[in-house]
Structure 1
Amino acid sequence: MKKWIENQKWHINIILMFIHHFFDRINYSMRNTFLHDHYIFLKFKKNKIIGLLSIINSSVCLVMSPLIGYYCDKHKKNRIKVLQFISISYLLVNIIHYMFIRTNNLNLIILITAISKTLQESSHVITESIFIESIEKGKKSIIFTYQKLISTVATMLGPFFCLILFYWYSDKWNITNIFIIFQFSILTILPQTIISFLWKNNTVSTLPKPEEISLLAKKNEKPNLLWLKSNHVPYIVFVSHIITLAGAGMTFKYFSLFLKSEYKVSPILMCVLNIVIPLLLTFFTYLAQKLSKSLGRAQVSLFFTTIGFMLLCSLLYIQNYQDVLKVHVFRSVFQNCTNSIDKSILYDFIDTNRHTGRWMGIQSLHYLVWSISAYFGGWLSDISSYRNTFKITTYFYLLSLIIYSPLLWLVPVKETS
């Protein structure tokens, strides 16, 4: 086993992360996507409760992610032991929640949600920190793309399992059917718990050589584009994504409910939709990564997300049921197929040996912005209609594209090693 690990092209932590991420995404796509929103809506009959729970989740992330991220950077030797404790606790909390507790008490649901999210987010920050520090410089784009491909395949399998369970029990939106799926999803947490005992702390060194430090210092002495320099790149990526999420939360958090209310989409058809999107996303993620090698990462990312923006604009005018479904599928694909590219850009421009955990923590703001947007979207949908949020979202997406555009000049076309 040791010889096999030593002969691997990639660090063992990369392989472990791929497996961990595979089961994590199956769990997420079975439980935390459209099904959880329908489950809460069936219990309380209000969209804003869905938004409220999202805000609670994001508030937990906002508090825990920076703390865990800081701990990961300062106490690298102890983080695996902490991860093992968190993983076991997360498994037990889910078993207790979905096997023994059934309640309509909102306060109890909020408490369980907060505890579960605390453990999940802590695990996410630690595993991502170990994973990123195990990637050699110049290989982030391809590794993150593989991670994204695995993620999309797993995200497709979740709805597929849901489809089978809905077909088996009944093709109806009711709490009993959804809760059965939640119980099955616990099985995907067990492999993640086992993997927590296999991580290695001997990550690769990503510190630049003296000549690289000198070159970077000279490069940052003067602006590369107006007043912008290379060290502004992570912040540009971060802010553009924040603005995208500010628009997306209010619309796409409720898109499955929109399809159900306006077009009477059944549970099985909803599962089919959530299988088709990851299937296409897998292909376009791979295509985007291949194109980025010759055309440039920022160029390809901006091109695909611009197409996604244009498709979103078309949803303002399309009423036909089949056309809405087609546009929704391709909008989701083009908008999300370059996430791994943007992630590689961000981490290529920071010191991953010292600041990985902290950047993981800072990105908890993504959750907060998304959740506040989702709460606003739920409130707006309750007092008017789902379609009213589409137009507002287009403005956020346009602003995000404008902020992202300087990366065309700041990020080198070729990813250096």
Structure 2
Amino acid sequence: TTGKSGLKLNRNLLLGFTLTGVFSFANNIYSTNVFPVFLLKVADGNTLLFGLAEGLQGLAQLVTAFPIGWLADKYKRKYLLWAGGLLWIIFIGLLAYATDIATQDSMRSFIILCVALSIGGVTNGIVGGPLMALLDDSTPAGYRSDMELYYGVIWNIASIAGPIVSLISFAEGENEWTMEQMKLIIYIGCAATVPCIILCIFFDDDLALGKESEAISRIEGEAAEVLGGRQGDGKKVLGFITTEMIPWFLFGLNLFFSLGAGMSVKFFPIFFADECGLSPVTLQILYIILPSVVVAFTLIATKLSKTWGRMQVIVCFNFLGIGHTLAMALMRSQYHNAEVMVTVYLLRCGFQWSTGGLAYSIIADYVPKEYRGRWNTLESISSFGWSGSAVLGGHLVKLSGYSTTFLITAVIQLLGVVLFALPITPLVALEKDIQKAVEALKDNEGELEEPLLGGNEARSAPRAVVPASSSIRGLPGMNPTFEETTGENGAGASSLSRSLSHLEHVARIGSLG
């Protein structure tokens, strides 16, 4: 499925990228910068209530995500995507209705919007978790940073179009944050989300890859030798941190970043509108430029990761991003200077938002396929941390202002890098080494087939999928039962039976902090 040309796109990947682009376009029409201002107006400027609404969205995702992850591992992922599409219909309808009846300083309108946001949180968990696990199952090991690069670039390019629609709407109407003007933009965003529901129907677990999309710990034989000891010699950092702990450390990093980011990211549009005095049109222009900056930084980060290593780039870029967040906290005297603050903000987001895909690719490389659905449920914890900390952020903004909030964000994220990113940096294999291991595995399989099948039969017969051995130890606390691993009769689980049992990934939006 791959070669020297790099990642080959299959049906699931093409559908996933298309869904990503459509949703990013629709979501960024209203969600990024219009809806926060709209919700704050409905809450009569109460930032604590605003944070509470965001917290409810994260709580809804947290409560439902673990059952969703279990179902995604127990049954085919496409069934969950179908269910997510149906719930999406309810979410769009309720959000449109809540927007239609919303008035400024109306508690009834605010409560209905909170219900809509809660359903949106459940929808995010249903669609986001199984979708990303299926994309990882459809991507060969060693090429996942390329898949994440496609994903990130498509998301950010499509997100440019969203603010353009908002900009045109504000330019043609009133260049003011009026309720009617914002309602129109939310309606457009809801309508643009409808194609996502249709796309959910066409995903198929049976088109996912076999052994070549496994975790590198499952790539047997040549893998340990090719990886030069990184994977196979039991190397430890600080005497206890091993490769098996890499996903957990990345989860910890993502959780810290989510906790910090949730306190500030949702308030950036309000910060620029209130403190820097940006008009609606100017704010839309900012959010048109921002994705272009993130795309450029993502291309640079992915290119550097091929030679430096993925964790090395993650650590370096995050330190630089945190430095710019700290600068925003300390530059209170410049808050009136929109040009300066916008420049610092763009650099901050460029560094920090460009490495999420690299982190996800590492997790997918170090988590076996049959745990990927469960790992996706961990996104709910980070998302709740993100949304839950928005409640605290709203209180801090009201109590101490934006400067203190930005400072606390920087400190929390700095702790995350020091505690969770630096320790695992020496353990993560280079992708070029993983690619060699996958090619060696395929060569070995070919050598075994030819003597058994002979000439033409060997070339025409479908390649057997190497089953996961029941002796392989799973992640701590996530070991399957004997029946789940080997099947009723003790036979090794095939790729298909595993897809009907149990599958990975960690916090997508959350790590964008």
Using structure 2 for the length normalisation, give the TM-score. Answer: 0.75
Instruction: Note the alpha carbon deviations across 1:314-342, whole angstroms, 9 max, x for none.
Output: 22332331211110111111111111111
Work out which structure has the larger RCO, using CA pairs closer than 8 Å and 6 or more positions apart in sequence.
Answer: 1
Aligned length: 407
Counterpart in the other structure of 2:442: none
SS in 2 for 1:290: helix
Superposition RMSD in Å? 2.1
How far apart, in 1, do the equivalents of 2:61 and 2:274 lie? Answer: 31
Check if 1:176 corresponds to 2:175.
Answer: no
How far apart, in 1, do the equivalents of 2:412 and 2:222 lie? Answer: 37
Counterpart in the other structure of 1:12: 11
How far apart, in 1, do the equivalents of 2:412 and 2:351 lie? Answer: 16
How far apart, in 2, do the equivalents of 1:62 and 1:16 lie? Answer: 26
* 1:32 partner amino acid: S
Counterpart in the other structure of 1:72: 72
Check if 1:405 corresponds to 2:405.
Answer: no
Counterpart in the other structure of 2:170: 166
Distance 1:97 1:335, change over 3 A: closer
| CA drift at 1:220 | 6.6
Q: Where do residues 40-189 of structure 1 align in structure 2 (5 Å cutoff)?
A: 40-44=39-43, 45-76=45-76, 79-98=77-96, 101-103=100-102, 104=106, 105=108, 106-189=110-193
Q: Where do residues 329-368 of structure 1 align in structure 2 (5 Å cutoff)?
A: 329-351=346-368, 353-368=369-384
Check if 1:311 corresponds to 2:310.
Answer: no
Question: In 2, are the aligned partners of 1:220 and 1:231 still within 8 Å (CA)?
Answer: no
Instruction: Note the alpha carbon deviations across 1:96-134, whole angstroms, 9 max, x for none.
Output: 531584133133222222223322321222222221211
Deviates more, 1:336-345 or 1:95-104: 95-104
How far apart, in 2, do the equivalents of 1:165 and 1:285 lie? Answer: 30
Question: In 1, are the aligned partners of 2:72 and 2:80 still within 8 Å (CA)?
Answer: no
| CA drift at 1:187 | 2.8
SS in 1 for 2:202: coil
How far apart, in 2, do the equivalents of 1:35 and 1:67 lie? Answer: 32
Counterpart in the other structure of 1:4: none
How far apart, in 2, do the equivalents of 1:307 and 1:389 lie? Answer: 19
SS in 2 for 1:355: helix
* 1:74 partner amino acid: K
Distance 1:87 1:323, change over 3 A: same
Question: In 1, are the aligned partners of 2:57 and 2:114 still within 8 Å (CA)?
Answer: no
Question: In 1, are the aligned partners of 2:66 and 2:374 still within 8 Å (CA)?
Answer: yes
| CA drift at 1:265 | 1.0
Distance 1:347 1:48, change over 3 A: same
* 1:400 partner amino acid: G
Check if 1:286 corresponds to 2:299.
Answer: yes
How far apart, in 1, do the equivalents of 2:370 and 2:341 lie? Answer: 46
Instruction: Note the alpha carbon deviations across 1:58-87, whole angstroms, 9 max, x for none.
Output: 1111122221111111112xx424422431
Check if 1:33 corresponds to 2:13.
Answer: no
How far apart, in 2, do the equivalents of 1:377 and 1:400 lie? Answer: 18
Question: In 2, are the aligned partners of 1:42 and 1:174 still within 8 Å (CA)?
Answer: no
Distance 1:363 1:300, change over 3 A: same
Q: Where do residues 182-197 of structure 1 align in structure 2 (5 Å cutoff)?
A: 182-197=186-201
Instruction: Note the alpha carbon deviations across 1:34-61, whole angstroms, 9 max, x for none.
Output: 2111011111121111211111111111
How far apart, in 2, do the equivalents of 1:283 and 1:400 lie? Answer: 25
| CA drift at 1:9 | 2.7
SS in 2 for 1:354: helix
Counterpart in the other structure of 1:391: 407
Structure 2 counterpart of 1:380, from 386, 389, 396: 396
Distance 1:46 1:204, change over 3 A: same
Distance 1:253 1:226, change over 3 A: same
Distance 1:176 1:299, change over 3 A: same
Distance 1:85 1:226, change over 3 A: closer
How far apart, in 2, do the equivalents of 1:220 and 1:244 lie? Answer: 31
| CA drift at 1:30 | 1.7
Distance 1:225 1:276, change over 3 A: same
Counterpart in the other structure of 1:201: 205
How far apart, in 2, do the equivalents of 1:148 and 1:308 lie? Answer: 18
How far apart, in 1, do the equivalents of 2:411 and 2:80 lie? Answer: 42
Q: Percent identity?
A: 23
Counterpart in the other structure of 2:452: none
| CA drift at 1:395 | 1.1
Counterpart in the other structure of 1:228: 241
Question: In 1, are the aligned partners of 2:230 and 2:429 still within 8 Å (CA)?
Answer: no
Question: In 2, are the aligned partners of 1:220 and 1:229 still within 8 Å (CA)?
Answer: no
| CA drift at 1:217 | 11
Question: In 2, are the aligned partners of 1:41 and 1:47 still within 8 Å (CA)?
Answer: yes
Question: In 1, are the aligned partners of 2:57 and 2:120 still within 8 Å (CA)?
Answer: no
* 1:338 partner amino acid: T
| CA drift at 1:226 | 2.6
Structure 2 counterpart of 1:298, from 298, 303, 311: 311
Deviates more, 1:82-91 or 1:340-349: 82-91
Counterpart in the other structure of 2:265: 252
Question: In 2, are the aligned partners of 1:29 and 1:158 still within 8 Å (CA)?
Answer: yes
How far apart, in 2, do the equivalents of 1:67 and 1:297 lie? Answer: 32
How far apart, in 1, do the equivalents of 2:14 and 2:283 lie? Answer: 32
How far apart, in 2, do the equivalents of 1:229 and 1:93 lie? Answer: 43
Question: In 2, are the aligned partners of 1:47 and 1:381 still within 8 Å (CA)?
Answer: yes
Question: In 1, are the aligned partners of 2:89 and 2:197 still within 8 Å (CA)?
Answer: yes
Counterpart in the other structure of 1:211: 221
| CA drift at 1:369 | 0.9
Counterpart in the other structure of 1:273: 286
SS in 1 for 2:263: helix
